[in-house]
Chains A and B, each alone.
Chain A
Amino acid sequence: MNSELEITLNFSGGAELLFGKIKLHTVKLPSQETWCMKKLLVWIKENLLKERPELFLQGGTVRPGILVLVNNADWELVGQLDYNLQNKDEIVFISTLHGG
């Protein structure tokens, strides 16, 4: 088993403003432990988020108005925060708010 979990993160619609204007991030996570979305969000907040965390996360989940897609499907269809990440997963965060 691979010791790393490779995940692609894509921020768009203005969400990239909070991540140094970089849309595409490929991250490697240690795969000894299981990674659920909840854990990933905390990891993103600590490692990728450049500014104003309250504009991305609110109350342990993403702020209303930011749509999350896991492998092109709504994350509500795969269990939201409880979804366990798989290797090569592609996660898209689209901010639908005016001006990001």
Chain B
Amino acid sequence: MMCSINEENLAEETMVATPKLSVTDAICRRCNILKAQVLLRKTDPYCRDCFMKYAVHKFRSTIGKAHALKHNEHVLLAYSGGLSSGSMVKLIKEGLDFSESKKIKMVFKPTLVHIDEGLILNLSKHERKETTDFVLEQAKKNGFDVYICSLEYCLAPDLNDLKLEMNSYQIEPSIYESQLEMLFGSVKSLTAKEDLLIRLKQRLITLLATRLNHAKVFLGPNATRLAGQLLSAIGQGRGAQIAHEIGFTDSRTGTVFLRPMREFVDKEVAYLANFLGVDSVCLPTLSSKLGSTASIGRLTEDFVVTLQTNFPATISTLFRISDKLKSNIADLNPSDCERDSLCLLCLSAIEESSVCSASTARHISQTFSRSGPSGHPSDDLRTHPLQSVGTVRHQDSTSCSSNCNSQGKPCCKTSNDQIKSDWSAVLCYGCRITMEDVKQPELMPINYLEELGLRSRRQVMRQSVEQFLL
């Protein structure tokens, strides 16, 4: 038998696949002279200099091979203050200063941007000030300009009125503060909260980039983080968006997001930060100090990290898989009509549910189980199970939009249920799950609500016209 696998011994055999080498007092495998200080993939010892050369080369080639940057282009660097983005900033700083004759200098003009998330993390004013002061100081040390913006502005329709000061920041009370607190307070699960935070942060960075006239933004997530996100994306029904969420470039929003740290696993980042002298600020997140089952993201991170310690190929395997995945919707410049088929929150294409799709099946079973033990599912569902997914909702909203004035105001505020069903028609599957946990969707940014009303009216119009078309 050619491919017979002895299943009983499978676990044992794979366990010994990573041999325990005696690496104590090893010599660098690259220069063969110096004593190793770094051990990668459990088997490759490097000395400090060789590791740094390897890391710098990897960083530059990640940026270079994508051909994403033009000469002297302005780039925003999203800097959180943590190790990963801190190392990114430092590597760029060194790349710009690079004077070794053989290598070419990196040529682009970076500006830092930091988002102060202290509000939803329940940090005190003092703690927030400490973090932002740290960011300002780091920017000064590296000689970059920095803009700091508070997270609550993600709820603003645009940032034209925002007082954005270069290299200084004051925590100022704004009208969106309580709205943001209430919005996050109304979210039930941590998974949904984390997902909502990602989407809103992405929106804010896009707004900032537009305001500051930058077309490209560097984000700092490393390979370990992305591998965790890859699995949690699948777990949250975002499988179709993996190419965007994990890949080097993400241009869904119109602003291009690049992830130059994506080839570094967390261990390499930690070494880098240590050797480059990157100072980091302790950044609590929503799931800080919580157990591994707090959210899907937390769980998958734990899974990847634990697996990685014994099987150093885990992350690279996940990565090679994700690199082969492509979104089945081409990156077209969406016209007004096509924009209707983009998810409002994450701007990915909404998949058309076909007759036998998993989401249809889920919807049907959800409707049945929600109707309770004695309740009968509505006749409507029994006869047209498919139609009920999309169209029935829009018929509901007909009455609403006829009363609606045409100034583009959100008209669906009348009933909470109404809003919720409308939301689901403009969201992709993953965002729909998230929004189901948001108990007060009316607190979302006003543009979303406007767009929501607009789309549902357009849909109604299309339906009414359809009847006259042959």
Residues of A within 8 A of B (CB): 12-14, 16-18, 21, 51-52, 54-55, 64-65, 67, 69, 72-74, 76-79, 92, 94, 96-100
Contact = CB atoms under 8 A, between A and B. Distances in A.
Given A12-B280, A77-B24, A100-B283, 4 more contacts: A18-B289, A51-B289, A77-B26, A96-B305
Contacts of B271: 67, 74
Interface string B199-226: 0000000000000000000000000110
A2 B416 CA distance: 73
Interface string B44-83: 0100100000000000000000000000000000000011
Contacts of A12: 83, 273, 280
Interface stretch (B103-111, B262-270, B317-325): B262-270
A94 B270 contact: yes
A100 B284 contact: yes
A9 B333 CA distance: 54
Interface string B304-347: 01101100000000000000000000000000000000000000
Contacts, number: 95
B38 A74 contact: yes
Contact of B306 (A54, A64, A96): A64
Contacts of A65: 224, 266, 305
Contacts of B266: 65, 67, 96-97
A79 B266 CA distance: 21
B180 to A, nearest CB: 19
Contact of A77 (B45, B274, B297): B45
A84 to B, nearest CB: 12
Given A17-B289, A77-B37, A98-B225, A64 B48 contact: no
A78 B23 CA distance: 8
A19 to B, nearest CB: 10
Given A65-B266, A77-B45, A94-B270, A17 B288 contact: yes
Nearest to A80: B24
The 3 lowest CB-CB distance pairs between A and B, nearest first, are A99-B285, A96-B266, A73-B37
Given A21-B282, A65-B266, A13 B82 contact: yes
B289 A52 contact: yes
A52 B267 CA distance: 23
Nearest to B298: A98
Contact of B24 (A18, A79, A100): A79
B179 interface: no
Nearest to A15: B282
B42 interface: yes
B267 A67 contact: yes
A96 B289 contact: no
A60 to B, nearest CB: 14
A94 B35 CA distance: 22
A100 B288 contact: yes
Contacts of A14: 82, 282-284, 288
A94 to B, nearest CB: 4
A97 B301 contact: yes
B39 interface: yes
A64 B289 CA distance: 15
Contacts of B267: 67, 96
15 contacts: A13-B82, A14-B283, A17-B282, A65-B224, A65-B266, A67-B271, A69-B274, A74-B38, A77-B37, A94-B273, A96-B224, A98-B297, A98-B301, A99-B286, A100-B282
A55 B290 CA distance: 9
A13 B281 CA distance: 7
Nearest to B279: A12
Nearest to A83: B24
Given A17-B288, A98-B285, A99-B287, A77 B280 contact: no
Interface centre among A16, A21, A51, A94 (most CB of B within 10 A): A94
Nearest to B38: A74
Contact of B270 (A13, A16, A54, A100): A13
Contacts of B224: 65, 96
Contacts of A77: 23-26, 36-37, 39, 45
B87 to A, nearest CB: 11
Q: Which of B25, B266, B282, B285 has the most CB of A within 10 A?
A: B282
Contacts of A78: 24-25
A97 B289 contact: no
A99 B45 CA distance: 28
A74 B83 contact: no
Contacts of B285: 98-100
Nearest to B23: A77
B36 A16 contact: no
Contacts of A94: 83, 270, 273-274
A97 B305 contact: yes
A74 B37 CA distance: 6
Contact of A55 (B39, B82, B289): B289
Contacts of A92: 274
